[in-house]
Each structure stands twice: as C-alpha cells, then as structure tokens.
Amino acid sequence: MTDTPGRPDGPPVEEDAVVLDAKGLRALAHPVRVQLVGLLRKHGPSTATRLAERLGVNSGTASYHLRRLGAAGFVEEDTGRGNARERWWRSVHRTIWFNDPELTEREPEAALAYQQSVAAIYTLRTQQTLNELQTMPRVWRNAFDLSDWALRLTPEETASLYREVAEVVARYRRDTPEAAASAPEGAERVGIITHVLPEPATPAAETETP
C-alpha cells in the first residue's frame, strides 16, 4: 500500500518496502490501521491525537491501533520528537506489497478485510479529491481524470499489462525526500490508483444426463 498494496510480480520491491506475511496481514486487517499507516506516510510523523482528529476517532482508539501497528513493525516511535506527555509515531516502510495466493488461502478472512479496507480508502481518497477539485487551479483540474476500460485478456496478458503500467509509474516516482528535492518546479503530490478487476464469466451449470 505506496500507501497501498503492491504486487511482487511487478517491478522489483523497493528496499524500504515490506512484503506482508501472515502476522502483518492480520495486523492490517482493520480499516483504522490501514488509514493510520497511510497518513503517516503521506504527512510524516504525528501523534495519536492529531491522527485521531484526521480520522474522526478518539485519541485512545488511535493510540491503541498505533501500538498494535508498532508491535507488528509497521510504525515506530519517533523518539526525537516525543516527550513524556505525548508520543510521536512514524511509518517504518514506504510501500506494502501483498499478492500471495497461498497466504490468501491460509488467511482468507484477514486478506479480505485488508483488501476491503484498502478499496474503501481508495474510494474515500477519490471522493476527497472530487470535493476539492473546483478549488484547485485550472491546470490541476484539467489534469484530473477518472477512466476505465473493458479489455479481453488472458491471465498472462493481464499480469503483463500490470507490470508495464507499474514500470511507467515507477519512472515518475519522487516520493522519497532525496527524489523530491530534484522534482521540477510546480511538482505536487499526485495520487495514481490502479485497479485490475478480473470479471471471468460464470461457468454454465452442468446438467445431468438423464
């Protein structure tokens, strides 16, 4: 999960990425935790109180989920900012990768909960951009896009298409502090959300021969 789930069959996994195992998947199988990790990546270190305000939950709830994320290795305390009254937290990884069919089969409920949380966050981010669109400069309004295509592909072609799209996006990534410093003038954060949605036809029901 960028702040979204990735796929190991795409470009090479970055050094500061994490590939979900069973423990990590169970830890992220909650929408508040997925959102907390995403906010820390997007906005940098923060406190439970500030994060709770962004999410519309109480600080106790945010603090509980941050501790659970910390125990699973997704976030850590930022000791350089914290004090005796309030702890600061930061994300440990820049990207989450999850596309393990065997893990999905072993942990179907956790996998579904995690992926549903991610899908809901994608929808929320899109709605937030739509709500803010008319207040953006015209050049950014013109850059906004919602598109979909219906293609007829084999599973192998679908995987190849995903890899090609991911490789194009990777060429434009400047979300590390070092890369951001070299971005051209006028560069801002832009969210690119991809969905690959297989829609295989339901096999016709077999009829018994009398």
Two tokens, residue 19: 């590939």
Q: Is the pLDDT of residue 196 over 90?
A: yes
pLDDT at 15: 59
pLDDT at 3: 45
Q: Is the pLDDT of residue 44 over 80?
A: yes
pLDDT tier at 13 (50, 70, 90 boundaries)? low
The mean pLDDT value for 102-124 works out to 93
User: Whole-prediction pTM value?
Assistant: 0.78
pLDDT at 206: 46
CA distance 111 to 26: 8
Query: pLDDT tens digits, residue range 137-193?
Result: 999 999 999 999 999 999 999 999 999 999 999 898 876 666 777 889 999 989 999
Query: pLDDT tens digits, residue range 116-146?
Result: 999 999 999 999 999 999 999 999 999 999 9
Q: Is the pLDDT of residue 2 over 80?
A: no
**Contact at 8 Å (CB) between 75 and 89?**
yes
pLDDT at 149: 96
Q: Is the pLDDT of residue 9 over 80?
A: no
Helices (H), the chain: 22-27, 31-43, 48-55, 59-72, 101-106, 108-132, 138-143, 155-171, 177-181
Across the beta sheet with 17-19, the strand order is: 5-6, 95-97, 17-19
End-to-end Cα, the chain, rounded Å = 52
pLDDT at 173: 84
**Contact at 8 Å (CB) between 81 and 88?**
yes
Q: How many CB atoms lie within 10 A of CB 204?
A: 6
Within 8 A by CB and 6+ apart from 10, the residues are 162, 163, 166, 167
pLDDT at 67: 96
Two tokens, residue 159: 């995987």
Give domain limits for the chain.
5-142
The mean pLDDT value for 89-108 works out to 90
Query: pLDDT tens digits, residue range 53-94?
Result: 999 999 999 999 999 999 999 999 998 886 767 899 999 988
110 burial via Cβ count (<10 Å: 0-12, 13-18, 19+): buried
Task: Assess if CATH 1.10.260.40 describes domain 5-142.
Answer: no
What is the three-class DSSP state of 132?
helix
